[in-house]
Structure 1
């Protein structure tokens, strides 16, 4: 053991033991008949291509060196009314081991029970440990666990005080249990961790895969950074990348380990993932362009005929004859629809009867729609929206639009294409 390691051991809290294995120093502590120690799972920024933090996780073994689940430890502590003591013990242990991890700028993510945040003694003990270890609060991300807090206002006030001291706050397991949108407004975290169950659903269900990017965008609009946890496969990693998550955590990128992450391996892993994502994105864009090509040709021809004075009902037939063409409609220069939707096929009309109150769109105002604004801002050019939910049938849809002169008036011709069971742009 080096002199520096001896100094660290001497300054450790009473009851903590130290061992050095393969040059790596680790602290452990006894809790009843159990030996507790720490491992750290890296948290990566996909943009920076490196670890930006580590989540501290508790590991326990009994007298026969058999692993004991941390859930069992905290479950037993809850039964005995000893949760705050175990929580404090685990945090002190994690801080000791993080200090010797060698991380110079990365965050330490500490799981913390809501009741511990509101306990004055716990807060004082945490600050005292940080001072002793010379760790500034800005290096610590307090993960508020999803358990229900008895006094949410008191918890929110405690979170605010910790943030004022320089700590970052993360809301853990968003989308599970008590962690929902309301909790975000109440606690105002810096980082929101999406529960693994959301990623798992998105990996196996097309509708959830569509929702995930929108959820990340919503959290970004609310001023929150987003961490997707539980990433275990390349498919899930690609989903995290495509939905614009800020951070990722999971076995695919790095397993919990007593030591620091292999930086070179992390760069290679994320670089390969990004290259495959780029290749897949370009291939998807080529497929989409190929699929849209016949619709674009028919729509451009319809716009030419409309500008030449032919009636809407006649110019749209070639477009509407294509397999997934849904409807055509015409807007004036202020976004108001002139006339009804033009629908060619009888089966389409029959399907729309489920949404009969929406079938008559004459006089509707589509000023807010991107397809109208983009067409007006850049006339004589066909615009293509990203897939969105059509109000006509509550189905995914892509709209083509072009602003053109019809007589003395500027009009916007629009054509909808069903985008059901197709890959997103």
Structure 2
């Protein structure tokens, strides 16, 4: 061991050992028969195309150097009533190793048990370690673990106090277990980490679209940054890009390691992924445009005939004869529907009968609907919505609309298309 290494070993925290491999300084410690140390998984900003943080992860080996799952480590600690002590030990290890990592501006994502935040002794130990290592709280993202909190009000107060000290707060595993919308309002995190179960096939609707875009949009409207974790395949990476997530984490982008990531390799990976996603999006947009073209042509002709004075129930037949055409309806300038829906296909009868209370839309107000608002903003121009859930039969549909003159009145002609499968791409819901 060199003199410099001896000097650094001398200042290691009590009970911690220092080792050197490939020029990296690494701290470890014993806990019972286990040796504990840290690795770090990078967290990337898709827009910045680089790592903006690292999550500290515990690694354990038994006396025969066999790996032991962190879940087993904490499970055993829970059985012995030792969870907070092990949690504090893991925090100290991650902080020491993160400091040795040499990251200059990136965040450290630090998993914390809710009890470690509300217990004054454990909170003081965390702050003391930061002062000793000269790490400002703004460099630390406290991940509130997905566990039941016995006193949620007390946890929320502790989170508020840590935020006031400069820490960032992340809500972990949103979409699984105890992490739900209520916790967002109560804990007010800066970052919400979406559980990887939302990337699984079960999170895809039968129509082929994911719930992720709407969920991410909801969290953004609530003022939260969104991190999609557990991204393991290119397909899942495209889902994260498509849903407008801010950050990503997972094996596809970077595995846990004792070292920082290769910045140039990461930028190249995200750049290539973004370019492929752009190509896929362009291809899908062209396919959707081709799919919609006959409906738009028939709809434009129906609007011309309606404006020329022909009755609604006669002008819509060409449109309704197309395979997935669902219905036509007419709104006044206030968004009120004055006549029943015009429906042609007899095979809709079974589906419509299940939603019989909704079948008569005469007198309904569609003033809030994007298809009405966009048509009124741009008269004489066909508007196309993104797919959404139709209230008529609880199925996904796309609505065409156009504001046109019918006699001396400005009306909005609308037509629904059953939409199964790929979404029509829309850059912003406010534009449809």
Is the structural similarity TM-score above 0.5?
A: yes
| CA offsets 1:296-352 (integer angstroms, 9 cap, x no match) | 110000111111101111111100000000000011011101211001121223431
- TM-score, length of structure 2 as denominator length: 0.96
Is the CA contact (8 Å cut-off) linking 1:87 and 1:113 kept in structure 2? yes
| CA offsets 1:268-322 (integer angstroms, 9 cap, x no match) | 1101110110000000000001001000110000111111101111111100000
What displacement does 1:4 show?
A: 6.3
Structure 2's unaligned 5+ residue stretches are 426-432
1:187–1:4 CA distance, 2 compared to 1 (3 A): farther
1:177–1:351 CA distance, 2 compared to 1 (3 A): closer
Aligned partner of residue 76 in structure 2, secondary structure: helix
Is the CA contact (8 Å cut-off) linking 2:285 and 2:424 kept in structure 1? no
What displacement does 1:222 show?
A: 1.0
Paired residue for 2:362? Answer: 362
1:371–1:233 CA distance, 2 compared to 1 (3 A): same
Aligned partner of residue 333 in structure 1, secondary structure: coil
Paired residue for 1:315? Answer: 315
What displacement does 1:50 show?
A: 0.3
Paired residue for 2:428? Answer: none
Is the CA contact (8 Å cut-off) linking 2:209 and 2:422 kept in structure 1? no
Runs of 4+ in structure 1 over 6 Å off: 1-4
What displacement does 1:423 show?
A: 3.8
Paired residue for 1:371? Answer: 371
For 1:5 and 1:381, the matched residues in 2 are separated by: 73
Aligned partner of residue 130 in structure 1, secondary structure: helix
Paired residue for 1:248? Answer: 248
For 2:205 and 2:5, the matched residues in 1 are separated by: 51
Paired residue for 2:429? Answer: none
Paired residue for 1:132? Answer: 132
1:91 maps to 2:91: yes
Is the CA contact (8 Å cut-off) linking 1:201 and 1:208 kept in structure 2? no
Paired residue for 1:407? Answer: 407
Paired residue for 2:28? Answer: 28
Is the CA contact (8 Å cut-off) linking 2:387 and 2:423 kept in structure 1? no
Is the CA contact (8 Å cut-off) linking 2:173 and 2:179 kept in structure 1? yes
Is the CA contact (8 Å cut-off) linking 1:51 and 1:106 kept in structure 2? yes
1:207–1:91 CA distance, 2 compared to 1 (3 A): farther
What displacement does 1:184 show?
A: 1.1
1:268–1:2 CA distance, 2 compared to 1 (3 A): farther
What displacement does 1:10 show?
A: 2.9
1:322–1:270 CA distance, 2 compared to 1 (3 A): same
| CA offsets 1:334-371 (integer angstroms, 9 cap, x no match) | 11012110011212234311111111111111110011
- TM-score, length of structure 1 as denominator length: 0.97
1:46–1:390 CA distance, 2 compared to 1 (3 A): same
Is the CA contact (8 Å cut-off) linking 2:207 and 2:422 kept in structure 1? no
Task: Name whichever of 210-219 and 195-204 sits farther off.
Answer: 195-204
For 1:74 and 1:234, the matched residues in 2 are separated by: 32
Paired residue for 2:41? Answer: 41
The number of residue pairs the alignment matches comes to: 425
What displacement does 1:241 show?
A: 0.6
Is the CA contact (8 Å cut-off) linking 1:202 and 1:208 kept in structure 2? no
Paired residues for 1:59-98 under 5 Å: 59-98=59-98
What displacement does 1:34 show?
A: 1.2
Task: Name whichever of 67-76 and 300-309 sits farther off.
Answer: 67-76
Is the CA contact (8 Å cut-off) linking 1:203 and 1:236 kept in structure 2? no
1:5–1:384 CA distance, 2 compared to 1 (3 A): farther
1:4–1:299 CA distance, 2 compared to 1 (3 A): farther
What displacement does 1:200 show?
A: 1.6
What displacement does 1:206 show?
A: 4.4
For 2:28 and 2:303, the matched residues in 1 are separated by: 74
Aligned partner of residue 210 in structure 2, secondary structure: helix
For 2:12 and 2:208, the matched residues in 1 are separated by: 48
Paired residues for 1:237-386 under 5 Å: 237-386=237-386
Is the CA contact (8 Å cut-off) linking 1:41 and 1:254 kept in structure 2? yes
1:5–1:407 CA distance, 2 compared to 1 (3 A): farther
1:217 maps to 2:217: yes
1:10 maps to 2:10: yes
Q: CA RMSD in A?
A: 1.4
Is the CA contact (8 Å cut-off) linking 1:337 and 1:363 kept in structure 2? yes
Is the CA contact (8 Å cut-off) linking 1:202 and 1:212 kept in structure 2? no
Paired residue for 1:121? Answer: 121
